[in-house]
Structures are given as C-alpha cells and as structure tokens.
Amino acid sequence: MPTEYYRKQAKALLKAARSGDPASLERLSRHPTNYDPAAPKLHDAQLTIAREQGFASWPRFRTFILQSGLDDQGLAATFIDTALSDLRQAEEILAAHPQIAGAGFYVALVLGDWQRVERAVTETPALATGRSGPQNLEPLLYVCFSRFADGMSSRAGDLAETARILLRHGADPNAAFIPEDLPDNPLSCLYAATGLNNNPALALALLEAGANPNDSESLYHSTEHRDLACMNLLLRHGATPAGTNALKQCWIAKTWRACSSCWQPEQIRTRSTIAAKPRSTGPSGGDEARQPRPLCSTGAQTWMQRARTAERRTPWLFRAARQKSPRS
C-alpha cells in the first residue's frame, strides 16, 4: 500500500517517543494539538509526519500519496537523497514522476519551491529550524546542498529565495553537516553555496544573515570554479586567507605572494584576466584575442580533478547521514 512507508515512520516515531527518546519527543512537541508528552498516541506521530512533509493533517497527506501514486519504497525520500548528490539523476526522476514536485516540505526545499516552504513555516514556525526529514538535518542544509542550487541551474534563484525565507524564520546561517567519522570537518551551508554549487545569490543570503566566511572550507573550495564570483564575495565579507588552507590553492597563493601583506578583494583577478597569453595571429590572419590560462603550472586538468574530488565528497557524506537517521 502506498501509505505504508509513512505509516511505519509514524509508528517508529511513536515507539521512540514512548521510550523517552528526547529527539522524538521534541519532534512531536512542534505540532501541539492536545498532545500529552506523557502519553503520546499514534495520531500525534502521524500528524508530525504529515506536518514535516508540509501537509496540515494526516488525512490530507494520505490523500496526496494515494492520488500521486508514490510507491511504498519512499520515492520522495529517494528523490531528496538524489537531489543532494546527483543533479542529472534527480532531474531524470522528476521528469519520470512529475507529481513528486508536490510531495511535501522537504521536496520543496531541494527544488526551491519557496512559496510552499513559506506557507509551511508560517503555519508551523518550528519547521524552519528543527532537524528532521529523510536526512535528519536542518532545512537550510537541504536547500544549500541541493544540486538544484547549482549556479547554472534554472532553479538557482528559487533556492536562494527559499534560503532567505528560512533565515527570516530563524534558521541558523552557520548550520553545518558534521560527518560521524570526521567530527572535526564540518561542512557548512556556506561551503555548499560557494564551493559546491557556486551560487553567489545563495551565498550572499547566508553572509548577510551572519554566516561565517572563515569556516576553513568555503574560501578554499570557492577557488575551484571557472569564475571567482563566490570567492570575491567571501573576501568582501571578511574571509581571511592568511593562515588557512585556502593558501594551498595555487591561484590564491600566488596572488597572495604577489600582493605581500596587503590583501584586498580587488586584487583577486578573475580567471578571464589571469596571466593572459597573447598569440601573434589567428586563423583569419589577424591578431587573435588574448587567451586566459590559470596561474598554476599544473594546468586546468589538475584544477578539474580537484573540483570533481570536492564534488564527490558530499554524496558520500549524505549517504552516511541517511544510514545514521532512524528509518523503518
């Protein structure tokens, strides 16, 4: 039966709450409707699951599931997981199952459906800050790590607006995913916006809300893109490359050495103006336009390898988070 997956989630939540699990009790308390923490009931858990998916009640959520035909393997959860790791595959799932676009709050987060998100957090403000959903993470992390937030995606602007809505409702701009096996290497929302997705609008929303530009990841990975808009944005908002791993990136390091002790954002030149190399003649016989090349002697191939390595890190870490979160 299509609703069985979510029924099992509700039963698992109820069982955990009755055993005194603090996180489960806190989830139930976000949606008070005659809720008795000393004696939680199944309908309390079902309402919580429905509200977390952006529906006002369990019957409305159940009706949506039946009408949309979502399968009992949790297609919505699979789509969310994929959207956090593989844009092309997520687009294929969405094309094959367009009805999934309306499958609740967390799908709306990764797609940038800011109108649905705004309605949900206005009705239930705690949704903007609480950890839940398929990955058991804060909502802002779903937005920033969504591959639909890629700066070249048609949804990039909608994801930035979604982030602004969550931030206005109290979301933490410094929220970060902390992998269980790498507790000293948190990956922040700002890292996702700048290093992973190269989305200046999303990065600006986070920085204006108070995100820390010196998180040891954002500046470093922002240099791995063809344009340096996010890197310059971080510098304008106080990112300090001195003494950080950002200096390991050859583009920044050589520019840093060139300007010695005076680091200014305007001294960081975009790739289109770095070390331009003229050619005497072009195919037509006239002077050919000056061609850009990276400062790094290792060349563009090494740069691309680094970018792909950084991109592969996130899917692995999110899969680890999914395995950690309780699912039945």
172-183, pLDDT tens digit by residue? Answer: 999 998 877 778
State the pLDDT at residue 193: 97
Q: What is the 3-state secondary structure (H, E, C) of 94-155?
A: HHHCHHHHHCCHHHHHHHCCHHHHHHHHHHCHHHHCCCECCCCECHHHHHHHCHHHCCCCCC
pLDDT digits 0-9 by tens, 234-282:
999 999 887 666 655 544 444 443 443 344 444 444 333 333 333 333 3
Q: Yes or no: say if 222 and 234 are a contact pair by the CB < 8 Å rule.
A: yes
Domain boundaries, the chain: 1-70
What residues are paired with 184 via a beta bridge? none
Stretch 124-135: mean pLDDT, rounded?
A: 85
Output the pTM of the full model: 0.64
Report the SS3 class of residue 278: strand
Identity of residue 119: R
Confidence of residue 2 (pLDDT cuts 50, 70, 90): low
Most confidently predicted of 128-132, 162-166, 256-260, 288-292:
162-166
pLDDT at 233 exceeding the cut of 90: yes
Distance (Å, rounded) from C-alpha 95 to C-alpha 108? 16
Residue with tokens 């950690």: 324
Alpha-helical (H) ranges within the chain are: 4-18, 22-29, 42-52, 58-68, 75-83, 87-96, 105-111, 114-123, 139-145, 156-168, 189-191, 200-208, 218-222, 229-236, 250-259, 299-324
Q: Is the pLDDT of residue 128 over 70?
A: yes
Residue 117 has pLDDT above 90, yes or no: yes
The answer to whether residue 143 scores a pLDDT higher than 90 is yes
Which tens digits make up the pLDDT trace of 204-222? 999 999 999 999 889 988 8
Burial 179-193 (b: 16+ CB within 10 A, else e): beeeeeebbbbbbbb
Highest mean pLDDT among 89-93, 293-297, 315-319: 89-93
d(CA 21, CA 73): 26
Range in 52-61, 111-120, 246-255 with the lowest mean pLDDT:
246-255
What integer pLDDT is reported at residue 32 of this predicted model? 63
Residue type, 219: L
pLDDT value of residue 103: 81
Average pLDDT, the chain: 75
> Residue 206's closest CA among 141, 150, 127, 116?
141
Percent of the chain residues topping a pLDDT of 70 = 69
Rounded to whole angstroms, how far apart are CA atoms 325 and 138? 13
- Span 122-147, average pLDDT: 89
